[in-house]
């Protein structure tokens, strides 16, 4: 069968798919497993005649044309107050551990990280406070050797109904940010929820948002000549239905200074927001392929870049799933799905604490924060957190391992190329070609919880493969994770611990064989 040509309900949105799949508790049947096959593959009708001991076979044309991985594709997203306490204030001292964790992603292959500062906090800040931007400016300077390795998307207040406030914020932030450090300004946060949140009347519609957006961006363009371009509408897809139709987005994209369209995606809903999440649900294709495919409608409609400025698995993070190994496999896969769809980048939304003051289960790392830093933002350390004189690493969560896996699988100057895959198992395959070195990177994600096996790989012209494995004791694991033999368990400075481990494979005849463990991922780097 041709998976890329399979029929699905028209207009399927991420939340619709989440609603249809969230209650699935039974093991996936064969039809569901077939849906999990690699989306860049093409399959003929009928049995493939797999070698009996192969769980999957993959054939790659190394010279096939591909889709470039955009510079700055991988990004992070923080709330304004969380960014300050995690990054560190110049007057108090930087968080060297945060910087190291970003440096790990950069050196793994990301090359450049886009850091978006916004979220609900954008619409709660009622001042133009220079102190909010100073930590960002310091981070940019600290990570600018030999060239800038981060850039920022900054959120401005729209909910206050005060265009002058957004203009003052833009001027204040940009006055302390180094030239070239801010790539875009995002106007407001999830305006499709304004009526429900009572920041606007129930009659508030996209036309009203468009008028406000036009006014604010027009004033910024006049008052702040150095301002970068603008992003919007940053809708949540869980707010007012019909807010941001194709015609709406075309009008927004046509406004002066608009450099792209932004959107927020949370395919599942946690218990705290009324959902009924089940372990293993993130392995279902509704939370990867179908989620990314929804972005394709926007891209076909608006000839401007589309950036997902907030992405995480759950609206209201779900402890036990958000912070389990399941999330590592999910994030690596869904990021590749977005590359395939053609979006310009994705910012993974993560914080130190959630909105209730608890540790952010959907985060990638957690820090103990010095009391002086809390006081600088008008807060106090939560009662359960021991007072700290300096920054200390509490935990590196599974999500971070998945982001690290993606960064190494999709390095700068690489392109995503197709692969022909045959399997009846829940296995995803992604292949990139490094345009500078000619190396091929093949990522195999085995989402089967209890099914190990071998994969047979045909990669003409390549003689060796270096294998790295992402593994955990179980899908539920929150610690004990290793990536190529290294781990961040017990790390105090953000550097990995342990001895790096790789395996070398060579073809038997024309086929490389690699064992796949259950609930794990394998990255093979092929060299000629």
Residue 396 confidence (pLDDT): 98
- C-alpha to C-alpha distance for 314 and 291, rounded to whole angstroms: 13
- C-alpha to C-alpha distance for 345 and 262, rounded to whole angstroms: 10
447, two tokens: 């989402």
Could you give the percent of the chain with pLDDT greater than 70?
90
- C-alpha to C-alpha distance for 310 and 74, rounded to whole angstroms: 12
Query: What is the average per-residue pLDDT within 370-380?
Result: 83
Length of the chain: 528
Nearest one of 366, 382, 303, 308 to 338, comparing CA atoms: 308
The distance of Cα 72 from the centroid of its chain, to the nearest Å, equals 12
119, two tokens: 């979220």
Residue 376 confidence (pLDDT): 82
Count other Cβ atoms within 10 Å, centred on residue 178: 13
- Which of residues 390 and 41 earns the better pLDDT score? 390
Residue 13 pLDDT class (50, 70, 90 cuts): very low
With a CB cutoff of 8 Å and minimum separation 6, the contacts of 49 are none
- C-alpha to C-alpha distance for 349 and 75, rounded to whole angstroms: 9
Supply the DSSP symbol for 460.
Answer: T
Residue 10 confidence (pLDDT): 29
Residue 168 confidence (pLDDT): 97
- C-alpha to C-alpha distance for 478 and 146, rounded to whole angstroms: 35
Residue 52 confidence (pLDDT): 58
287: pLDDT strictly greater than 70: yes
- C-alpha to C-alpha distance for 36 and 315, rounded to whole angstroms: 23
49: pLDDT strictly greater than 90: no
Supply the DSSP symbol for 108.
Answer: I
Residue 237 pLDDT class (50, 70, 90 cuts): confident
Query: What is the average per-residue pLDDT within 435-449?
Result: 95
Residue 297 confidence (pLDDT): 81
Count other Cβ atoms within 10 Å, centred on residue 45: 6
Q: Which helix (H) or strand (E) holds 187?
A: strand 182-187
The distance of Cα 12 from the centroid of its chain, to the nearest Å, equals 21
Share the mean pLDDT of the chain: 88
Query: What is the average per-residue pLDDT within 417-446?
Result: 96
Residue 51 pLDDT class (50, 70, 90 cuts): low
383: pLDDT strictly greater than 80: no
* E strands in 304-384: 306-311, 314-315, 345-349, 365-368
Q: Which helix (H) or strand (E) holds 211?
A: helix 206-223
Q: What pTM does this model have?
A: 0.90
Contact call for residues 466 and 524 (beta carbons, < 8 A): yes
pLDDT tens, position by position, 217-232: 999 999 998 899 999 9
67: pLDDT strictly greater than 70: yes
SS (H, E, C) 119-175: HHHHHCCCCCCHHHHHHHHHHHHHCCCCCCCEEEEEEECCCCCCHHHHHHHHHHHHH
Nearest one of 276, 263, 368 to 321, comparing CA atoms: 276
Q: Which residues of 438-464 are buried (b: 16+ CB within 10 A; e: fewer)?
A: ebbbbbbbbbbbeeebebbbbbeebee
- C-alpha to C-alpha distance for 385 and 373, rounded to whole angstroms: 14
User: At CB < 8 A and 24+ separation, what contacts does 51-54 make?
Assistant: 51/456, 53/453, 53/454, 54/453, 54/454, 54/455, 54/456
Residue 57 pLDDT class (50, 70, 90 cuts): very high
| Helices and strands: H and E segment counts in the chain | 13, 24
What phi and psi, each to the nearest 5 degrees, are found at residue 112?
-155, 130
pLDDT tens, position by position, 87-144: 998 888 999 999 999 999 999 999 999 999 999 999 999 999 999 999 999 999 999 9
- C-alpha to C-alpha distance for 11 and 77, rounded to whole angstroms: 28
25: pLDDT strictly greater than 70: no
SS (H, E, C) 240-266: CCCCCCHHHHHHHHCCCCEEEEEEEEC
348: pLDDT strictly greater than 70: yes
With a CB cutoff of 8 Å and minimum separation 6, the contacts of 47 are none
pLDDT tens, position by position, 146-195: 899 999 999 999 999 999 999 999 999 999 999 999 999 999 999 999 99
- C-alpha to C-alpha distance for 440 and 264, rounded to whole angstroms: 32
Query: What is the average per-residue pLDDT within 308-314?
Result: 97
Enumerate the β-bridge partners of residue 515. Answer: 454
Identify the weakest region by mean pLDDT among 47-56, 345-354, 446-455.
47-56
């Amino acid at each position: 069968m041709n998976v890329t040509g399979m029929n699905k309900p028209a207009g399927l949105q991420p939340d619709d798919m989440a609603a249809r799949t969230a209650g699935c508790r039974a093991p996936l049947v064969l039809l569901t497993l077939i849906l999990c096959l690699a989306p860049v593959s093409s399959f003929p009708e009928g049995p493939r005649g797999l070698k009996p001991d192969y769980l999957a076979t993959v054939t790659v044309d190394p010279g096939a044309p591909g889709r470039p991985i955009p510079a700055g594709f991988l990004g992070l997203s923080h709330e304004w107050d969380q960014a300050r306490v995690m990054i560190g204030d110049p007057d108090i001292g930087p968080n060297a551990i945060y910087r190291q964790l970003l440096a790990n992603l950069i050196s793994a292959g990301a090359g450049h990280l886009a850091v978006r500062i916004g979220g609900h906090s954008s619409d709660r800040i009622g001042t133009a406070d220079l102190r909010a931007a100073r930590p960002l400016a310091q981070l940019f300077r600290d990570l600018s050797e030999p060239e800038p390795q981060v850039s920022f998307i900054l959120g401005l207040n729209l909910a206050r109904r005060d265009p002058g406030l957004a203009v003052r914020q833009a001027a204040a932030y940009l006055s302390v940010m180094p030239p070239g450090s801010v790539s875009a300004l995002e106007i407001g946060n999830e305006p499709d929820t304004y009526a429900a949140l009572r920041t606007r009347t129930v009659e508030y519609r996209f036309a009203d948002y468009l008028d406000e957006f036009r006014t604010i961006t027009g004033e910024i363009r006049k008052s702040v000549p150095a301002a970068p371009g603008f992003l919007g509408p940053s809708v949540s897809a869980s707010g007012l239905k019909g807010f941001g139709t194709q015609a709406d987005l075309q009008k927004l994209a046509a406004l002066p200074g608009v450099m792209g369209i932004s959107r927020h995606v949370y395919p599942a809903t946690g218990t705290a927001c009324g959902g009924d999440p089940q372990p293993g649900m993130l392995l279902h294709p509704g939370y990867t392929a179908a989620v990314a495919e929804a972005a394709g409608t926007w891209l076909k409609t608006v000839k401007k870049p589309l950036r997902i400025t907030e992405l995480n698995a759950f609206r209201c993070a779900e402890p036990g799933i958000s912070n389990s190994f399941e999330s590592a496999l999910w994030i690596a896969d869904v990021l590749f799905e977005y590359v395939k769809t053609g979006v310009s980048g994705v910012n993974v939304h993560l914080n130190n604490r959630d909105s209730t003051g608890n540790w952010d289960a959907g985060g990638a790392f957690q820090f103990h924060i010095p009391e002086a830093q809390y006081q600088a933002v008008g807060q106090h350390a939560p009662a359960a957190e021991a007072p700290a004189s300096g920054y200390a690493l509490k935990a590196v969560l599974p999500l971070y391992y998945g982001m690290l896996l993606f960064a190494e699988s999709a390095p700068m100057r690489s392109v995503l190329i197709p692969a022909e895959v045959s399997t009846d198992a829940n296995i995803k395959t992604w292949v990139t070609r490094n345009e500078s070195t000619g190396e091929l990177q093949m990522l195999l994600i085995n989402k089967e919880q209890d099914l190990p096996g071998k994969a047979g790989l045909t990669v003409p012209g390549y003689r060796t493969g270096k294998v790295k494995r992402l593994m955990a004791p179980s899908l539920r694991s929150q610690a004990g994770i290793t990536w190529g033999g290294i781990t961040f368990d017990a790390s105090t400075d953000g550097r990995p611990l342990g001895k790096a481990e790789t395996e070398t494979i060579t073809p038997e005849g024309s086929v490389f064989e690699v064992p796949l463990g259950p609930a794990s991922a394998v990255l093979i780097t092929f060299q000629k």
